[in-house]
Amino acid sequence: MFKDVTIGQYYPADSILHKLDPRVKFLGTVIFIVSVFLVRGFAGYAFVTAVLVTLIALSKVPFRFMLKGLRAILIILCITMIFNMFLTPGEVIFQKWIFKITREGVIQAVRMGVRLAYLVIGSSIMTLTTTPNQLTDAMESLFSPLKVVHAPVHEIAMMMSIALRFIPILMEETDKIMKAQIARGADFESGGIVKRIMNMIPLLVPLFVSAFRRANDLAMAMEARCYHGGEGRTQMKPLKYSGRDIVAYILIFGFLAACIFFRITRL
Amino acid sequence: MGIIKSVKLAFDYLKYGEDESDVQKVRAIDDVTIDIEKGDFIAILGHNGSGKSTLAKHMNALLLPTEGTMWVDGIDTAKEPELWKVRQKAGMVFQNPDNQIIGSIVEEDVGFGPENMGVPTDEIWTRVEESLTKVGMIKHRDKSPNRLSGGQKQRVAIAGVVAMRPDCIVLDEPTAMLDPNGRQEVLRTVSELNEKENVTVILITHYMEEVIHADHVFVMDSGHVVMQGTPREIFSQVDRLKKLHLDVPQVTELAYELKKSGIDLPDGILTKEELVEELLRVSEKMKSKPQSKGTRSEKTSGGNKASGKARKKSNEREGTKK
């Protein structure tokens, strides 16, 4: 169950999206997420869907990898949709006791569902085609103006890339601890919600202990390899824009403009 | 002065009990004086808690001595303000392969050290390619470390250190979490680096089999260096090693037991081949003794020798297979 999260799971392939500068992909993803919340009408979503499908095809990453990420937010997705369905005021199409479903509610629910799903798929495309290191390099470079106000940009980027690298390892570890505790009679599957949460304690305590130990080991390994902050550090893969990155930027801003157009014309 | 030298090195750490006030000072290593020559293959032995890891961390300036001095390539670690300069001279490989790989792709991880040292980009790439080739992992350069086996991960970690071009590599129980195949892989890589690149290797371990090819062995117990010498000198003293809760290689143990039961074998036999040779010598001697007269016995002993040679050869083949 824990292996389903795709964040931080780079899928190596030889596609145009893999080759793009990570800064382009990062900005592109942010703009994509904004756009998903910008458009409201059917035509707008059809357009966004078409773009998304094109991106998936371009990425050469099997679609099921993106769906895996979606499965992880399934519960949030359902809750959002149900709340929107029942709690949006408007023209009632179905009513039973205090529950009523409105036409506006259904539309809103579908819209929220699509937005969340697209948001996850969109960011999955970025994380699947970009190595976490490239991604943090991109963030470091994009946010480097903040260094002027003494924001620890390099440190934050480093922390993020480490966190991303350790997600799969800690997931695996969770799985292992869970099995070990089940073998000793722990029960993670029955009981009410309070009991279930209490049952998680024998899982969380060893997980935290091991995470701290790993952090300690890693810090030492980094120091042993001469890590001493961002100063005087060179990069193995410095970011350089090429021709296709500029084309990509033009396309991204074209896409944003189109979405703003859809919003204004309420299509 | 050798590449790594320490004089009267001691290190204290604080141990906290249940209470906050219950603080104990524990001496992890005490009065350690060693001198390691450049290009040597050094092994440090000792059971858990003997202070061998603490000593290793001093060689990399991860710990600084409480008393005494540690010099790495002539630099006093306690007086150097920029410790990373010491660390690039003595690289370190740790026990857990997962907890020391920083990059999410093999080549990015190998490049991490040179990046920190401020090596120019082009040079980083040559170094990465070079060191991945040296450890035999060049074909896995694009892979995620999570997809590698333990032995392969450990080789990547070694490549990461090699890319920093250190004079000396300290390996702190690098094989403790690996299966026998992975152990072989890592050891082969390390001894190749020592032979071909003339890198000083300091291998910390509690597997005795890994020690027999070392140039010099230190044995540690409760913070002190209690024995030192060549592997043969160390393993000649089976009784003493047992008192220190250390094993000896299986072959040495067998020879030792045989000797105790009256067979005339020398001390400190380290390999299977040596034992076979010695046993043959002994059996020849025993055979020739009761029938020392006449030519027939000579013939048989000659025949024995030939068959013995054949057996030795087959034994050697078995050894290489393993």
Shared domain for A23 and A124, answered yes or no, is yes
**Structure tokens given for B83:** 């410790």
Residue A138 domain-assigned (yes or no): no
Q: What is the pLDDT of residue A53?
A: 92
CA atoms of A108 and A122, how far apart (whole Å): 20
Determine whether the interchain pair A236/B114 forms a contact, defined as Cβ–Cβ distance below 8 Å: yes
Question: Mean pLDDT for chain B?
Answer: 83
Distances (CA, A) of B315 to B157, B183, B277: 34, 22, 11
pLDDT of residue B281: 86
Q: What is the pLDDT of residues B32-75, one digit of tens each?
A: 888 888 889 999 988 888 888 889 888 888 888 988 888 888 88
Least confident of A78-87, B153-162, B187-196, B290-299: B290-299
Report if residue A143 sits inside a domain: no
Chain-chain contact of A225 with B113 (C-beta, under 8 angstroms): yes
A227 and A159, same structural domain?
yes
- In 3D space, the residue among B121, B68, B113 whose CA is nearest the CA of residue B87 turns out to be B113
Residue bearing the bigger pLDDT, B319 or B119:
B119
On whether both A39 and A169 belong to a single domain, the answer is no
Cβ A132 vs Cβ B104: under 8 Å: yes
CA-based nearest residue in chain A for residue B90 = A224
Instruction: Please name the residue of chain B whose CA is at the shortest distance from the CA of residue A162.
Output: B102
SS3 B202: strand
Chain A / chain B CB contacts < 8 angstroms: 104
Q: Are B4 and B60 in contact (CB under 8 A)?
A: no
Under 8 Å between Cβ of B187 and B107:
no
Same domain, A24 and A116: yes
Angle at which helix B272-288 crosses helix B250-260, to 10 degrees, equals 20
**Percent of all residues in chain B with a pLDDT value above 70, rounded to a whole number:** 89
β-pair partners for A101: A94
**Residues facing B43 on adjacent strands:** B203, B217
- Report the distance separating Cα A16 and Cα A129, nearest Å: 9
**pLDDT reading at B124 higher than 70:** yes
Contact B124, A236 (CB under 8 A): yes
| pLDDT surpassing 80 at residue A261 | yes
Q: What is the pLDDT of residues A14-67, one digit of tens each?
A: 888 888 898 999 999 999 999 988 888 888 889 999 999 999 988 888 888 888
Classified as helix, coil or strand, B72 is strand
Residue A144 falls within a domain, yes or no? no
Residue A1, pLDDT above cutoff 60: no
Residues A223 and A169 in one domain: yes
Same domain, A156 and A264: no
Residues of A in contact with B112 (CB under 8 A): 222, 225, 227
Could you tell me if B117 lies within 8 Å of chain A, comparing CB atoms? yes
Report the distance separating Cα B202 and Cα B42, nearest Å: 5
Phi-psi region of B78 (alpha: psi -120 to 50; beta: other; left: phi over 0): alpha
- Residue A261 counted as domain residue: yes
Same-domain status, A14 and A49: yes
Beta bridge partners of B6: B34, B70
How many domains does chain A fold into? 2
Query: 């193995």: which residue's tokens?
Result: A236
- CA dist B111 and B122 (Å) reads 11
What are the E-state strand segments in B37-146? 41-45, 67-72, 75-76, 90-93
Tell me how far apart the alpha carbons of residues B271 and A231 are, in angstroms, rounded to a whole number. 51
Indicate whether A140 belongs to any domain. no
User: What percent of chain B is modeled with pLDDT above 90?
Assistant: 17
Sheet holding B75-76, edge to edge: B23-36, B4-16, B67-72, B75-76
Say yes or no for a CB contact (<8 Å) between A228 and B116. yes
**Residues in chain A whose Cβ is within 8 Å of chain B:** 8, 10, 12, 131-133, 161-162, 164-165, 168-169, 214, 217-218, 220-228, 232-238
* Exposure b/e, A82-119, CB count within 10 A at least 16 = b: eebbeebeeeeeeeeeeebbbebbbebbebbbbbbbbb
Torsion of CA B2, B3, B8, B12, to 10 degrees: -170
| A77 Cα to chain B: minimum distance (Å) | 30
Q: What percent of chain A has pLDDT over 90?
A: 16
Q: Is residue A169 part of a domain?
A: yes
Residues of B in contact with A232 (CB under 8 A): 118
What's residue B155's pLDDT?
A: 92
Same domain, A203 and A253: no
Does A118 lie in the same domain as A4? yes
Pair (A229, A249) in one structural domain: no
Question: What is the spatial distance between Cα A73 and Cα A63, in angstroms, rounded to a whole number?
Answer: 17
CB contact under 8 A, A10 and B144: yes
- Whether A52 and A31 map to the same domain: the answer is yes
For residue B110, is pLDDT > 90? yes
Residue A97: inside a domain = yes
A155-199 confidence digits (pLDDT tens):
888 888 888 778 888 888 898 998 998 898 888 777 788 888 888
A32 in any annotated domain: yes
Question: Same domain for A224 and A247?
Answer: no
- Which structural domain, as residue segments, surrounds residue A248? 1-130+237-267
pLDDT reported for residue A166: 84
